[in-house]
Chain A
Amino acid sequence: MILAVVFALGLIIADHRFDHLERVRSLLSVLAYPLHLAVNVPAALVRATRERLTDAAQLRSTNTALSRENLLLKARLQQFESLEAENMRLRDLLGSSFNIGERVLIAEILAVDLTPSRQQVIVNKGTSSGVFVGQPVLDANAVMGQVIRTNPFSSVVLLITDSDHSLPVEVNRNGLRAIAAGSGVGQGLDLLFIPKNADIREGDLLVTSGMGERFPPGYPVARVTTVRQDPDNPFTTVLAEPTARLDRSREVLLVWTLDPHMQQEALTGAEPNQGTTP
């Protein structure tokens, strides 16, 4: 008994403090994958049945709505292309290089309930599709999180609302930089270390700033919901709500930034990369 307890405590400490166990864990999670797939079956069945049972009128109305949305998006995209070209031209004038080429892959979230104290989801794409640890994950609206663990068939995504996750953001309105940390309970983000006199208001959109070199810059993250001055807090208390539908999306986008330097760095993880870094 003592042996088991000591062993368990040792494992807890090893897993919490160091990341030597990640390889063991990804090995074992290959074994767990069939179970995850099996758990996904009932939810998939319910979904399939619901799709079967939709009637023609409903399908027609969805179709109309979708084609209307498609038209709107296309119209906006026309403008976007000219804007992108203009942006690149202006950046060329400024002499700063800026790569916005990206490749995405659509993955599906498995309907599996992981431990309630962490905000994680499992997606059905793994290293065999080229997924790597640290890869940003988006949904149709905004940033969702990043990959923290992979095996050949699936990977675990840490959502931005987890208490262990924080990402560099900036206010879209004025470029004020901040760090958005997950609050862990519920679906919220805390903005850390905002000075008392900072220009930030409710309703401000926060976008990724690209400072951490993990997330590509310019993707929406969250919208500020509360700005409050607490007497016991030397900084402004700012709460934000993610614009990604973290609890409802079924499909997510895995993003590869087509910038060899960043990709290389993400692949090698935390190890310093001599030679290629300027």
Chain B
Amino acid sequence: MTDAAPRGGWLIFVSLLIALFLTILPMPAAADAFRPQWVALVTLFWCLAIPERFGVFAAFGVGLAVDVVSGSLFGQHALGLSLIAYAAVELHQRIRLFPLWQQALFVWVLLLVERLLNLWVLAATGQPMPFLIYWVPTLFGLLLWPWLFVILNDLGRRAGLV
């Protein structure tokens, strides 16, 4: 493990960069409300796949990157992402044995938690409340997870990460 540790770090970096890119990519107004939480999905994948290399603090850093890039309050995404990363790292041994659809449900719950924490920060700092459509992206995350898992797992294996 120590031998393989430095390998494949570029894949993590690139996947997160693409996720960030998709987060701020302008989309038509109709599709904008349904944008999945790309960064949260990718972060969760790495937390489940290689928890010994990608843990809570990595997720915290990723959250800060999201905050800088998207102009939200400093620490807002960092809070949500590090908490769900903690849950994923703690439970990764159990989750990895689940069939893919059960895994997706677990991920969905974590995505809901991330959104809830974001909402909490918004409310605590007196920003306007979003509408109910705010929760819809988690459903898209649920549908996307199996595809994302298969693709990233395959790439990770080729890069010698997983």
**Chain B interface secondary structure, helix, strand, loop or mixed?**
helix
Instruction: Report whether B127 and A35 are in contact in the complex, using a CB–CB cutoff of 8 Å.
Output: no
A28 surroundings in chain B (CB, below 8 A): 68
Instruction: Report whether A12 and B32 are in contact in the complex, using a CB–CB cutoff of 8 Å.
Output: no
Q: Assuming the A-B contacts A12-B79, A12-B125, A163-B128, are A115 and B72 also in contact, with contact meaning beta carbons closer than 8 angstroms in the complex?
A: yes
B60 surroundings in chain A (CB, below 8 A): 4, 7-8
B122 surroundings in chain A (CB, below 8 A): 117
Instruction: Report whether B72 and A35 are in contact in the complex, using a CB–CB cutoff of 8 Å.
Output: no
Whole-angstrom distance between the Cβ of A167 and the nearest chain B Cβ:
18
Instruction: Report whether A8 and B25 are in contact in the complex, using a CB–CB cutoff of 8 Å.
Output: no
Instruction: Report whether A43 and B26 are in contact in the complex, using a CB–CB cutoff of 8 Å.
Output: yes
Asked if A42 is at the interface of the complex by the 8 Å CB criterion, the answer is yes
Using a CB-CB cutoff of 8 Å, which residues 86-101 of chain B contact chain A? 86
Instruction: Report whether B125 and A114 are in contact in the complex, using a CB–CB cutoff of 8 Å.
Output: no
Q: How many angstroms between the C-alpha atoms of A43 and B124 in the bound complex?
A: 35
Name the residue of chain B whose CB is nearest to the CB of A30. Answer: B68
Q: How many angstroms between the C-alpha atoms of A5 and B75 in the bound complex?
A: 9
Using a CB-CB cutoff of 8 Å, which residues 209-236 of chain A contact chain B? none
State which of A15, A36, A42, A117 has its C-beta within 8 Å of the C-beta of B75: A15
Name the residue of chain B whose CB is nearest to the CB of A16. Answer: B125
Name the residue of chain B whose CB is nearest to the CB of A119. Answer: B128
Size bracket, chain A contacts? 35 or more
B127 surroundings in chain A (CB, below 8 A): 117-118, 163-164, 184
Instruction: Report whether A113 and B25 are in contact in the complex, using a CB–CB cutoff of 8 Å.
Output: yes
B71 surroundings in chain A (CB, below 8 A): 114-115, 118, 120, 122, 156
Q: How many angstroms between the C-alpha atoms of A254 and B82 in the bound complex?
A: 39
A16 surroundings in chain B (CB, below 8 A): 73, 125
State which of B23, B78, B128 has its C-beta within 8 Å of the C-beta of A117: B128
A113 surroundings in chain B (CB, below 8 A): 23-27, 32, 70
Whole-angstrom distance between the Cβ of B89 and the nearest chain A Cβ:
9
Asked if B141 is at the interface of the complex by the 8 Å CB criterion, the answer is no
Asked if B63 is at the interface of the complex by the 8 Å CB criterion, the answer is yes
Instruction: Report whether A112 and B32 are in contact in the complex, using a CB–CB cutoff of 8 Å.
Output: no
Asked if A267 is at the interface of the complex by the 8 Å CB criterion, the answer is no
B63 surroundings in chain A (CB, below 8 A): 8
Name the residue of chain B whose CB is nearest to the CB of A185. Answer: B128
Number of A-B pairs, beta carbon distance below 8 Å:
105
Instruction: Report whether A5 and B83 are in contact in the complex, using a CB–CB cutoff of 8 Å.
Output: yes
Size bracket, chain B contacts? 35 or more
Instruction: Report whether B56 and A1 are in contact in the complex, using a CB–CB cutoff of 8 Å.
Output: yes
Asked if B48 is at the interface of the complex by the 8 Å CB criterion, the answer is no
State which of A11, A42, A185 has its C-beta within 8 Å of the C-beta of B74: A11
Instruction: Report whether A39 and B73 are in contact in the complex, using a CB–CB cutoff of 8 Å.
Output: no
Whole-angstrom distance between the Cβ of B78 and the nearest chain A Cβ:
4
Q: How many angstroms between the C-alpha atoms of A16 and B124 in the bound complex?
A: 10
Q: A1-21 interface mask toward B, CB cutoff 8 Å, 1 = contact, 0 = none?
A: 100110111111011100001
A117 surroundings in chain B (CB, below 8 A): 72, 122, 127-128, 130
Residues of B within 8 A of A (CB): 17, 20-21, 23-27, 32, 56-57, 59-60, 63-65, 68-76, 78-79, 82-83, 86, 121-122, 124-128, 130
Give me 27 A-to-B residue pairs in the complex whose CB atoms sit less than 8 angstroms apart, sorted by A's number.
A1-B82, A4-B82, A4-B86, A5-B79, A7-B78, A8-B75, A8-B78, A10-B75, A12-B75, A12-B76, A12-B124, A14-B74, A16-B125, A21-B74, A25-B74, A31-B68, A35-B21, A35-B69, A39-B25, A113-B23, A113-B26, A114-B70, A115-B71, A115-B72, A118-B127, A120-B71, A184-B128
Kindly list 10 other residue pairs between chains A and B, CB separation below 8 angstroms, not including A1-B56, A7-B78, A16-B125.
A4-B60, A11-B64, A11-B74, A12-B79, A39-B21, A112-B24, A113-B24, A114-B72, A118-B71, A183-B128
Residues of A within 8 A of B (CB): 1, 4-5, 7-12, 14-16, 21, 25, 28-29, 31-32, 35-36, 38-39, 42-43, 111-118, 120, 122, 156, 163-164, 183-185
